[in-house]
Structure 1
Amino acid sequence: MINHPGALSATQLSLSDLGTQLSDCVFVIVDLETTGGAGIDAGITEIGAVKVRGGEVIGEFTTLVNPGSSIPPFIATLTGITDSMVSGSPSVHTAVSMFLDFAGECVFVAHNAPYDIGFLKGACAKFDITWPSNKVIDTVRIARLALHRDEVRNCKLATLSSFFRTEVQPTHRAFDDARATTDVMHHLFERLGNYGVHTLEDLHAFTSRVSDVQRNKKNLADGLPGKPGVYIFEDPQGRPLYIGTSKNIRNRVRTYFTAAENRRRMSEMIKIAQQVRPIVCSTILEAKIRELRLIVSEQPRYNRRSRAADSVSWLKLTSEPAPRLIVTKQLKDDYAQGARYIGPFTSRAAANSALDTINETISLRTCTTKIAAQPRTDIPGCVRAELGKCVAPCTRDHDREQYLSIVNHASIAMSGNTATVVTHITELMKTLALQERFEEAANWREALGHYVNAVFRTERLRWIATTPEIVAAQNTIDGGWEIHVIRYGRLAAAGVVEPGFDPWPHVAALVASAEFVEPGIEPAPAGVTEEAFDLLRWLESDGVRLVASSSDLYMPINCGGKETLQLLDVRRVVGERLAAVTGHEPTGRPVGPRAPGVTRIAYF
């Protein structure tokens, strides 16, 4: 920490005072780096804070924190904070206690305050530390109200820092981000003067206010059912604007007309909305599935998630006379002709990465030329054939049996057995690492990840998509049962059995009345793949019991789990080689003087 002379004797803000000028308030701007997860886990890895009054820095606080658990590789790459860096640092209990002593009774400020303050509160709850009653200000909330949409595209810290041209730019390190937030806060305070905000109380009222539009439209929630289901905001012509789901439709819709709703898109949507149409559902899962189907079919303009749920890519081994790999958005019923599919991929780039791993391992042709069953030419049409990387199935005298053997290996690699591809790419990465070609090794690691994950997703999808009927149930809090009937990866029926009733007659009735579902094209389900994955997650969740299944539920033993562990081992090998060359563990950015490895508390 760093404190300026006289700062300790300065009068701290008393929250009982009225009309406290912003220039007289003492703010502590705080930022955390964490291991991810929920705030209650208290996985804090770094705390950075700046204490200011009247635009002047009067104190600084920064410390690495030992979270008591391993830092995930993704987080280490993002922040540059590794397990070895925090091994000798203060524990979460010690670091949070030190920070609270530094902050005193000042006003807490954070960018996306629910996240940072949530972790601090989680640490206090976990280690029995008294949480202070300090007021909290969120600069994200202020930015959304004080800035216009044509000024900034979003309210991320990096965006605002760039917009205001702050002296310090955020780096995903706590102290740098706290300093950047401090500059952003001061620029936002300058804007607030135009809104008549000059005191802490003005600021609270400004960030908590309900717009006139919200106030005038709150009657749209009147008469809505307090049950689980889907709610649809509609325009004057009855066209869906926004579709959502909730355990309690009435309570959820009411929140759109309170200060808690501050999303610009939602404010714009509420201005247009004429009515809210509810669809009551038996269970939350049914509501979620109905929401997904409606978003896909209606394409409401204010929904972002799931609008393209039916637009995915697949990697296909074709059924041509000389099969090859292609990326396609359309599944065909050509499994019996030898075609194989893995996916779905949410991006074409990921599908192409998976394609590259298979082509690197198995010498399939990569040309796009249509080849006849009986080619007539004697001259190979590509460089790969001349280099011996392709058996040239385009030529009359090629070894057909050899190429069919290659195709068979590719078919196996796309049918739940990743061993061949993983072994080959693993050895390739190790070779590249030994040659210090780390970037190439990392690229192959990511490509292999796309392939392995795709095979695993495909096999998970296959067993639910090819099963004619699955009946499963989950206990409710009050002792009843939620029952779902799933056919070919599509929700066919949902119902609830109240406590004290025999569930079996209800199960029989639900199955008898369930929707008739035609199977999809293997490995895809009858509906959109996102629905099938939602159903899979529910089936795999705690407390769900399998009531009946029309076929055995299983997955191939080598369909990705074991290979994923091997991939993690490869990442470790690459990291060790990189550490041997550079002298430190791989990080997302250099660890320098801006990222001290010791606690620093200073007052100016």
Structure 2
Amino acid sequence: MSQAVQHPSRWESQRSFDELGRPLRDVTFTVVDLETTGASAAGGSMITEIGAVKVRGGEVLGEFQTLVNPETQIPAFIAVLTGITNSMVVDSPPIESALPSFLEFAAGTVLVAHNAPFDVGFLRHFSEAQSRPWPAFEVVDTAKLARRVITRDDAPNCKLSSLARLFGATTTPNHRALSDARATVDVLYGLMERLGTQGVHTLEELQTYSSRVSATQRRKRHLADGLPHSPGVYLFKDDSARVLYIGTSRDVRTRVRSYFTASETRSRMGEMVRLASTVQAIECATPLEAEVRELRLIAEHKPSYNRRSRFPEKVTFVKLTREAWPRLSLVKKVLDDDADYLGPFGSRSMAEKCLAALHETFPIRQCTDRLALSPSRSACVLAELGRCLSPCDGSVDHDSYAAVVRQLRDTLLRQPDQVVELVNQRMAALAADERFEEAGVHRDRLASFVRAAARTQRLTSLTRCPEVVAGRREEDGRWVVHVMRYGRLAAAGVIPPGGDALAFVASLKESAETVLPSHGPLPAATAEETERLLRWLESPTIRLIEVDGEWTCPVDGAARQLTRNDYEPSR
């Protein structure tokens, strides 16, 4: 199962005489990767493959690889992603046998994984499930380390595939455990080589590494003076009062001060601080209000050092038109036209994948022009392929076509099972024929649809409510209250100690922002703001004070499919 493979050393140590700790060249690492049936061991997901490489000083000491019988069906979605099918694992050992073998292989070494909480979390979970003591492994997370070392100029992100390309890995990651572990070895050494030039030569230095803080950064600590110790938003500005970066914190002054100390590990932030000349603070009544204000300010100023939420207006929707012969189309805006909309999608490509999944399931027309109630023209090639009911040449009557449209509308707004079941069947058939690339196309389309449907249903549940007032008791005993109107935060406040709660809520509602409803699923705010409100409303100990309207989600909606299948982006 394991074997020693000799390679020439690729890690040249650069130690100084006064260096303390364990030199990296002397540390034995076990680089591990897992493939699983889902994202959560606690939620019932199982391990399907373990791959590991043991290395020291650039030399591969041994490799470990085994498929694992999960003793449950591997979802088609996962089979397409990993290439591991039910037939491949049927004769493989269960986790009760595979885990002890791996722990023996890794004994006495430092564990390394890309996104270590995932892999190590699974291993610990099954170790505890077997009442097996978990060894006191030290752990190095190459994903976490890369986020401290790699800049945006180096790679677009810190995914394993991106880092493997950056460091010229000899193995291409392909969602198989041993291949991914081998690629992670190259990434680990690539990171260590970079850090060696910054004086990182021991395991202890590697585990505690943070970006160096320049004297220029330290001299700017005075920019935090006078800022409030309260929730709020802070804006770093340059000499021209241009906003460089916007952030939020429960304690603005303490957070801003951290940008001038070693606790700030992002290299881009060091660059931003060197350009900053002032910091503006906006106090907020609650942390949730601060989060919402941050989103709105980022959308307004589009600061160059904020990577997220910069262009919330650039979204796409899938629209089911209202006309004699309805069709699906991609649009940039939601109109007051009584049509049904799915979205918003952050990119047009994701919307196109969703549209393809719907067209695979429902053979409605894909032509873009309007058709009269009784059209008379020749059919297109899609009709000849059996992928369109072809109302244009009279192949289908209006009532039959309308019945299919009703099914499609129900799928968009309430129950997505028909699309999920059909696409899963196609993926399973393609995976069984080892046509993984084709199956992967269907997987991506299905994932885009399910995530969009779940998002639309959750957003619509709140945006249709004229008003929702909710409160929560914080750790300090005070009650925070938020007023939400049509999915937008309209007011936030904290009930004073000993104050009249009902009177406070009434006053807060009276002073709240007037919000007009938007069209379709589009909230009166950005989708991201409404999702923040939903996460807060769905958190523990929330008390609904008043609800104007019906805040409900379909029981058989898309959110149920999200919990049953791993439709999140790959790690």
Q: 2:250 aligned with 1:247, yes or no?
A: yes
Q: 2:88 aligned with 1:87, yes or no?
A: no
In structure 2, give the amino acid aligned to 1:348: R
2:108 aligns to what SS in structure 1? helix
What is the deviation of 1:421? 7.5
Q: 1:187 to 1:359 in 2, by over 3 A?
A: closer
Residue 456 of structure 2, aligned match among 449, 458, 461: 458
Q: 2:221 aligned with 1:218, yes or no?
A: yes
In structure 2, give the amino acid aligned to 1:218: R
TM-score, scaled to structure 1: 0.72
Contact 1:19 1:200 in 2 (8 A): no
1:470 aligns to what SS in structure 2? strand
Contact 1:414 1:455 in 2 (8 A): no
In structure 1, how many angstroms separate the alpha carbons of the residues matched to 2:482 and 2:95? 51
Partner of 1:599: none
Contact 1:112 1:138 in 2 (8 A): yes
Contact 1:30 1:178 in 2 (8 A): yes
In structure 1, how many angstroms separate the alpha carbons of the residues matched to 2:3 and 2:389? 70
Contact 2:342 2:412 in 1 (8 A): no
In structure 2, give the amino acid aligned to 1:540: E
What is the deviation of 1:362? 4.4
What is the deviation of 1:44? 9.5
Q: 1:304 to 1:381 in 2, by over 3 A?
A: same
Gaps of 5+ in 2: 6-17
In structure 2, how many angstroms separate the alpha carbons of the residues matched to 1:503 and 1:483? 10
In structure 1, how many angstroms separate the alpha carbons of the residues matched to 2:317 and 2:233? 31
Residue 403 of structure 1, aligned match among 379, 398, 404: 398
Contact 1:265 1:302 in 2 (8 A): yes
1:414 aligns to what SS in structure 2? helix
Partner of 1:31: 32
Partner of 1:368: 368
In structure 1, how many angstroms separate the alpha carbons of the residues matched to 2:459 and 2:151? 44
Partner of 2:409: 414
Partner of 1:472: 470
Q: In the TM superposition, what whole-angstrom CA distance separates every residue of 1:381-413 from its partner, at most 9, and x where no partner exists?
A: 634567787676557xx599x326524641453
In structure 1, how many angstroms separate the alpha carbons of the residues matched to 2:383 and 2:159? 51
Q: 1:69 to 1:510 in 2, by over 3 A?
A: farther
Partner of 1:316: 319
In structure 2, how many angstroms separate the alpha carbons of the residues matched to 1:73 and 1:383? 31
What is the deviation of 1:191? 5.4
What is the deviation of 1:172? 4.8
What is the deviation of 1:347? 3.1
Q: 2:468 aligned with 1:497, yes or no?
A: no
Partner of 2:526: 528
Q: 1:244 to 1:404 in 2, by over 3 A?
A: farther
Q: 2:52 aligned with 1:48, yes or no?
A: yes
Partner of 2:305: 302
Residue 512 of structure 1, aligned match among 510, 513, 524: 510
In structure 2, how many angstroms separate the alpha carbons of the residues matched to 1:485 and 1:101? 55
What is the deviation of 1:354? 3.7
In structure 1, give the amino acid aligned to 2:408: A
What is the deviation of 1:486? 0.8
1:287 aligns to what SS in structure 2? helix
Q: 2:344 aligned with 1:344, yes or no?
A: yes
What is the deviation of 1:340? 2.0
What is the deviation of 1:489? 0.9
1:276 aligns to what SS in structure 2? strand
TM-score, scaled to structure 2: 0.76
In structure 1, how many angstroms separate the alpha carbons of the residues matched to 2:67 and 2:359? 45
Partner of 2:239: 236
In structure 2, how many angstroms separate the alpha carbons of the residues matched to 1:450 and 1:148? 29
- Of residues 518-527 and 147-156 in structure 1, the stretch that sits farther from structure 2 once superposed is 147-156
1:327 aligns to what SS in structure 2? strand
Residue 108 of structure 2, aligned match among 99, 102, 112: 102
In structure 1, how many angstroms separate the alpha carbons of the residues matched to 2:351 and 2:286? 35
Partner of 1:329: 332
In structure 2, give the amino acid aligned to 1:343: G
Contact 1:112 1:139 in 2 (8 A): yes
> Larger Rg: 1 or 2?
1
Q: In the TM superposition, what whole-angstrom CA distance separates every residue of 1:277-329 from its partner, at most 9, and x where no partner exists?
A: 22222222211111111112221111122223332221112234543221111
In structure 2, how many angstroms separate the alpha carbons of the residues matched to 1:555 and 1:203? 47
In structure 2, how many angstroms separate the alpha carbons of the residues matched to 1:478 and 1:472? 18
What is the deviation of 1:516? 0.5
Q: In the TM superposition, what whole-angstrom CA distance separates every residue of 1:172-215 from its partner, at most 9, and x where no partner exists?
A: 55655555444455555555665566677887897564233432
Q: 1:555 to 1:157 in 2, by over 3 A?
A: closer
What is the deviation of 1:341? 1.8
1:473 aligns to what SS in structure 2? strand
Q: 1:291 to 1:100 in 2, by over 3 A?
A: same
In structure 2, how many angstroms separate the alpha carbons of the residues matched to 1:282 and 1:341? 35
In structure 2, how many angstroms separate the alpha carbons of the residues matched to 1:89 and 1:499? 55
What is the deviation of 1:349? 3.4
Gaps of 5+ in 1: 5-16, 572-587, 589-604
Contact 1:354 1:447 in 2 (8 A): yes
In structure 2, how many angstroms separate the alpha carbons of the residues matched to 1:515 and 1:234? 28
In structure 1, how many angstroms separate the alpha carbons of the residues matched to 2:107 and 2:479? 50
In structure 2, how many angstroms separate the alpha carbons of the residues matched to 1:113 and 1:389? 45
In structure 1, how many angstroms separate the alpha carbons of the residues matched to 2:418 and 2:188? 52
In structure 2, how many angstroms separate the alpha carbons of the residues matched to 1:421 and 1:225? 48
Q: Percent identity?
A: 42
Q: 1:214 to 1:559 in 2, by over 3 A?
A: same
Contact 1:322 1:373 in 2 (8 A): yes
In structure 1, how many angstroms separate the alpha carbons of the residues matched to 2:457 and 2:446? 17
Partner of 1:382: 380
Q: 1:403 to 1:562 in 2, by over 3 A?
A: farther
Contact 2:76 2:427 in 1 (8 A): no
In structure 1, how many angstroms separate the alpha carbons of the residues matched to 2:447 and 2:40? 26
Q: In the TM superposition, what whole-angstrom CA distance separates every residue of 1:115-165 from its partner, at most 9, and x where no partner exists?
A: 77788899999979687596x766667767877875655555444444444
Q: In the TM superposition, what whole-angstrom CA distance separates every residue of 1:525-577 from its partner, at most 9, and x where no partner exists?
A: 21112222222222222211211111233344554467779x969x9xxxxxx
Number of aligned residues? 545
Contact 2:491 2:512 in 1 (8 A): yes
1:524 aligns to what SS in structure 2? coil
Partner of 1:279: 282
In structure 2, how many angstroms separate the alpha carbons of the residues matched to 1:283 and 1:459? 27
In structure 1, how many angstroms separate the alpha carbons of the residues matched to 2:301 and 2:21? 50
